Structure 1
């Protein structure tokens, strides 16, 4: 028996390793792998894409609301194939002031993975986490930089012992990004002006547009001239007069699932959303004061996209979508919906049914 226990200890020591990982903030973080009690702050689907659903067997807690409340249909779809999600502890959400360091510590995690914007919100707790020897790894997909996307994915590959899979995901993204940008560069066309708005408040009230983060950064990757670039740093509301004065060539309204039952006029897109319902809501945005005279509306270039098809490796489909809406003549052979489906077929447990992009039919 003593020999057997010694053998197990030796086997474990051979499998276990200590690694120093440079995270997205260039912090040198010492981690003991394999991590067996992780807490996940954000980027749930990228964690899943790299580690596959078995990776959640090593997760003991997460920031629940950002997925279960604000992406409810998406969360329910994944919960149906990962029942463990329902059993995970909720440590609260930093962006809404409900994060609890006590709940996190009670889980005795061996790794806390968070987004860069979450890191800024909970920095005051870091000394306590360091005192308890709980490493914190910071990732970022929000800035929509290929380098940060790739580095975050590589980090997940190291943590989850899926380095080859992480390389495949990065290659999927980079190949398609290079193709988009190469075609635009060769064409040498003037950049069309574009406005993207999160349509969660409906046509009667303006909501967030994007500067250098999220959809604003995706515009840059897709070769567009973002009318909000010099008006908004990350995300904020601009007034209707500014939109009218800019007269964008293309408008994209993003939506998610949450507003389907809470706001009958808000834009909805995503898991289990019917295209007919999404289109019905999209057409109301044409009725805004002054929008009938915008080039985007007059030329029937008002489109829609799934809001959560951003800040993730799957958002290469959104780069293609924006590029195709801006330069339709250059991307006749590119199907963003197929790219989104291909990503899920290759790297996700399944492809949820729903509506993710609406282009060319908002008449």
Structure 2
């Protein structure tokens, strides 16, 4: 078959562009958040994502997902269904991405990962630990594994993870900007609280997925625990919960928290669970939050007496944009210090600046 000169020229241009793009990738040795030295061709052309999907798209831009060859679908669609639907409606190709299984459910498949021939596998710190010897199987097969972390809520990890994802995605300038915005927000919260020299308010956080009838997870060293610490609070769960787990109701009552946060998602599986997130109306969130205020003994808590009961979006933790939740918690803990800060507007603004979809719903709510 003869190819017309114009078409032949287009083919040559396309091939040349592809070669130039491929030539941009070069082997580099990077350090991940665990201090591991990993040699990776960067920017990566075939990326396998275990977690932090929204962060990867924000940091690398939507174009970064053109080079994602597989992911752990349950950790996005299963855990944050409304958020997944929002992104999948905008980018239907997400639905066609191969699924390699999920670590916590023990369905993660090394064989499926290897079949996709990734240049790099990006795992959350908790996934890396959960996979154990399977990580070595990947590395023995010549697949670099890079570990990032937003779950431990360590500002140093947030910054390092953001910059590393920028290198992998090929947009270090954008990554630097996001990392600087995160750091500036955290520094502002810390400096104002330090200057005020006020006593640390006692706070309690609970994942409200089980509804008011049953106490669910509170948090120690991970997620909402350290987020509240960054916001200048004294976490009543610290002596009783190492990472996450329920507190004894009597201990919650005895600790008399001055501020209470109930975290929720968009899940409707439990008709009394705390509802927060994409597509959730504030009135619906407020109604669910009132259910927790009516728990046995809670009318005597300082937090409920003084109407300092708040709701937060579970999906807004363990992310580079969880600085907005630090701002919200700080404002709840120290109302006079952060009157000029609008955490929900900042959360929505992050979407407007860095993501191709717009968030709408309840992400931070007071009683």
Aligned with 1:263 (options 260, 265, 270) = 270
Q: CA deviation at 1:11?
A: 4.2
Corresponding residue of 2:3: none
Aligned with 2:291 (options 268, 284, 290) = 284
Q: Any gaps of 5 or more consecutive residues in structure 1? A: none
Q: CA deviation at 1:232?
A: 1.0
- Structure 2 distance, partners of 1:348, 1:12, is 24
Aligned with 1:330 (options 334, 337, 342) = 337
Kindly indicate whether residue 191 of structure 2 is the aligned counterpart of residue 182 of structure 1.
yes
Q: Any gaps of 5 or more consecutive residues in structure 2? A: 1-7
Alignment map for 1:1-363 (pairs within 5 Å): 11=20, 14-258=23-267, 260=268, 262-359=269-366, 362=367
Q: TM-score, normalised by structure 1?
A: 0.95
More deviation, 125-134/321-330: 125-134
More deviation, 7-16/42-51: 7-16
Q: CA deviation at 1:140?
A: 0.3
- Structure 2 distance, partners of 1:255, 1:12, is 43
Q: CA deviation at 1:350?
A: 2.6
Q: CA RMSD in A?
A: 1.7
Q: CA deviation at 1:52?
A: 1.0
4+ runs of 1 displaced by more than 6 Å? 4-10
Determine if contact 1:53/1:82 at 8 Å carries over to the other structure.
no
Determine if contact 1:181/1:223 at 8 Å carries over to the other structure.
yes
- Structure 2 distance, partners of 1:69, 1:12, is 35
- Structure 1 distance, partners of 2:82, 2:20, is 42
Cα distance per residue 1:146-201 (max 9 Å; x no partner): 11000000001111111111111011111111111111111100000000000000
Q: TM-score, normalised by structure 2?
A: 0.94
Q: CA deviation at 1:81?
A: 1.4
- Structure 2 distance, partners of 1:49, 1:9, is 24
Q: 1:320–1:99: structure 2 CA closer, same or farther, 3 Å change rule?
A: same
Length, aligned pairs only: 356
Cα distance per residue 1:59-100 (max 9 Å; x no partner): 111001011011000000011112111001111111011111
